[in-house]
Amino acid sequence: MNNILNVRSPAQGEALTLKSDHGLENHGLMNLHQVYWNLPMEALSEEIVFRGEGKVSHGGALVVNTGKHTARSPNDKFIVKDRSTEQSIWWGEYNRPLSPDKFNDMFNRLQGFLQGRDIFVQDCYVGADPAYRMPIRVITELAWHSLFARNMFLLPGTRDEYKRHVPDFTILSAPSFQGLPQIDGIPANTLIALNFGQRLCIIGNTAYAGEIKKAVFTVLNYLLPFQGVMPMHCSANVGEKGDSALFFGLSGTGKTTLSADPGRRLIGDDEHGWNDNGIFNFEGGCYAKVIRLSSSAEPQIYSCTRKHGTILENVIMDPTTRAIDLEDDSITENTRASYPLEYIDNAVAEKRASHPKSIIILTCDAFGAMPPIAHMTPEQTLYQFISGYTSKIAGTEIELGREPEITFSTCLGAPFMVHHPYTYAEMLRDKILRYRVTCWLVNTGWIGGSFGIGKRISIAYTRAMINAALSGKLLEGESYTDPIFGFRVPKSCEGVSADILNPAESWPSKEAYMKKYRQLALYFVNNFRKYESHCPPEILQAGPRV
């Protein structure tokens, strides 16, 4: 906000109370109007409303609009290519190189752009394991982005801790700032530029808050493997007996929904690390899709949309009654809620657990061909992990249409993976074998036919199958061998009809089913060719047989 009239805001009197001794001059930011340091949720809520950035809905959640960008913009993400990153980055579609000079030019313009403006600072941490906790700083142009950072990351506990905070990495988000394609050598005005040498990320021309979260995740995906920690795009929960489980999957596959199970305790909904001590959440909050959220199927997440401190992105609200409409997708399918993890009643306060007993790879299969649940060997698990097959659901990325789009996103999170995929796959293989983890594939997509013919499987069925898998019951019953991938598919599961477990039985024609399944298998084979040179024979042999 360019406060040229010097208007006094609600929290101006407390703006410096939690200021760090490591000031913004260390980032080259000077001549700013007012810096708001580490404001708590209540003060930020007042600032958000005062500045016209959002409105309070019935129940207390803040409703905000992200503008033209209602999803991530992966085509606008760049990493500075220098001596330290040249040989270690997996350069390509998602990791586009940017010269140090171009980055410095952008940052110099941004330094000038922010002069005379109000900005907000949140000093936080990522990594719930104290041995791998990293201090970060999130500097934002918008007050609601500061609240987003406060919701999503881990917070210092005392005033002294805030005072002594020195970040290892800094995210600077300024939606009003634009890149200059003709000068910066980028395709558009939007930019997400990471510089590992300077430990700095610049985000411009997008107010979609998910860019802040995923920039931090990208940083961890680069740094942690050097320390022997596997970074994972997954949710995690734990049962009463300490049996933790990981849920890998892309947006729209059900990671957040399925891990928020009332019968198990939630560790985290999206990003975790796995080290020699067990698993730990990177974050302190959740960022859930809320379009058509059900109070009966997803009661815990649904209740969070009615809580003070929750941020609702692009959710439609009645301007008079302030009632929100989670069914309305007129702005985007990718409506989101950001809230602290403790808003989930049975969340694990420590955000850590022992080594997982089970791994579940989630896919949303729009072909309707993959089985709803299947037991995988370690080799099959790595093949699916490297492939990262799913169907992108409308709204999760810019330019997606209404219909699901078939995609392969390696490691189930290609836009955030900085090293070669086999770097992460090799770490996963070692941990699966060392800790004897049971692995499952779960299809949360279509049954009875492909998209437009069949229907999407119900959450109730998927929960029943996952609960049976985690308890060990599915391993005790009869199973059959999947005809294409060789998975072991259970023949029965309490609460789920047999024809659903065998997708060929739910299709009108078995011949049509096998034709569609072979077509999907060819997509797998063609996609995997780009990884063959790095993978051992046993993983290549774990793919489909066409």
- Give the residue numbers annotated as catalytic, written as ranges: 72, 214, 233, 251, 255-256, 270, 336
Phi, psi of 532 (to 5 degrees): -55, -40
CA angle 194, 196, 197 (to 5 degrees): 125
Cβ–Cβ under 8 Å, residues 139 and 146: no
CA pseudo-torsion sign 294, 295, 297, 298: positive
Cβ–Cβ under 8 Å, residues 174 and 203: yes
**DSSP-assigned letter for residue 154:** B
- Amino acid type, 149: A
Quick one: residue 419, left, alpha or beta (phi over 0 = left, psi -120 to 50 = alpha)? beta
Nearest to 279 by CA among 266, 264, 267: 267
State whether residue 268 is helix, strand or coil: strand
Alpha-carbon separation of residue 279 from 246, 343, 408 (angstroms)? 9, 21, 26
Please give the Cα distance from 427 to 228 (Å, whole number): 8
Alpha-carbon separation of residue 43 from 23, 122, 149, 306 (angstroms)? 21, 13, 14, 19
Cβ–Cβ under 8 Å, residues 233 and 217: yes
Cβ–Cβ under 8 Å, residues 153 and 71: no
